[in-house]
Amino acid sequence: GASAAMELGAAAPTPRVRPPMDAAARVAETAAQAATLGDWGPIFVYGSFSMPQAWMPLLGRVPEMTAATLRGHVRRSVRFGGFAALMEDPDGFVIGQLVTGLRPAERRLLDHAVDDGFELATVKVRSLGETIGDLECVTYRWREEFEDALDGEKDWDIEVYMEEHLDEFMELCTDMRKSHDLESLSDEDLKARMLSRRRR
C-alpha cells in the first residue's frame, strides 16, 4: 500500500507546450509533410510548361495549375530553342502558373526536361483572384552566366513558340518520359520487354 499512496501524491507531468516555430522550422515542417505525402511542393512555371498540352507527353497527365503572379522578375526569350527565361528585375512582374501535386518522380522528370541554363530558385508568388498572401514555391530561373543567350530585352511570345517550337518540345518530353520509364524498370522487366519486341 505505501507505494500506491506515493504514486497518488506524485506530481502530474507538466503538459508539453510546443514552442513557437520560426520561419525555418515552418519550412522544414512543410517539407517533411510534403515528403510524407509524396509532393515536393508547388512550382511556378511561366513558359512552355504554363501550357497544359506540354504536360501530357511528359507526365501522362496534366497537374493542378492555378494562374499566379511573380514580382521582382521579368520573362525573356532565349535565342535558340524559343523557350522562356526568368531573370531578376526589381520592377518586373510575370504572370504564370502555380503547379501543385507533382509526385517526386514527376518532379525529377520535369527537372530533366528543363535546360541546363536554369537553376532552381525559391520565390514568393500570389495566386490570381486569391486574397491570401504570397505563397512560397520554387521556379526555374535563368542563370546569369548565360545571359548572352537571351534575345535582348524581348519578352517570350507564346504564339511564336506554339507555331515554331511546341511540337518539337512535346516530342522531347515524350522521349524523356519513355527513357525515364525504361530507366525505372528492373533488369528482368527490361529483358522481358526486349524479348517481346523481338517476337513481333
Q: Which of 47-56, 134-143, 173-182, 190-199 has the lowest mean pLDDT?
A: 190-199
C-alpha cell at 155: 519578352
Interval 135-161: pLDDT, tens: 999 999 999 999 999 998 999 999 999
Please, which pLDDT band fits residue 81 given cuts at 50, 70 and 90?
A: confident
Return the half-sphere exposure (C-beta side, CA atoms, 13 A cut-off) of residue 43: 24
What is the mean pLDDT of the segment spanning 44-54?
93
- Tell me the percentage of the chain whose pLDDT exceeds 70: 70
pLDDT at 122 over 90: yes
Query: Are the beta carbons of 116 and 104 closer than 8 angstroms?
Result: no
Q: Are 102 and 44 in contact (CB under 8 A)?
A: no
How far apart, in whole angstroms, are the C-alpha atoms of residue 136 and residue 133?
Answer: 10
Question: Residue 182 is which amino acid?
Answer: L
Q: What pLDDT sits at residue 120?
A: 92
pLDDT at 157: 92
Query: Looking at per-residue confidence, does 39 or 36 come out higher?
Result: 39
Q: At residue 42, does pLDDT exceed 70?
A: yes
Residue 62 has pLDDT above 80, yes or no: yes
What pLDDT does residue 40 have? 81
pLDDT value of residue 177: 85
CA-based torsion, 43, 44, 49, 53: positive or negative: positive
Q: Which helix (H) or strand (E) holds 138?
A: strand 135-142
Provide the pairing of β-strand 118-127 with 135-142. Answer: antiparallel
Please, which pLDDT band fits residue 116 given cuts at 50, 70 and 90?
confident
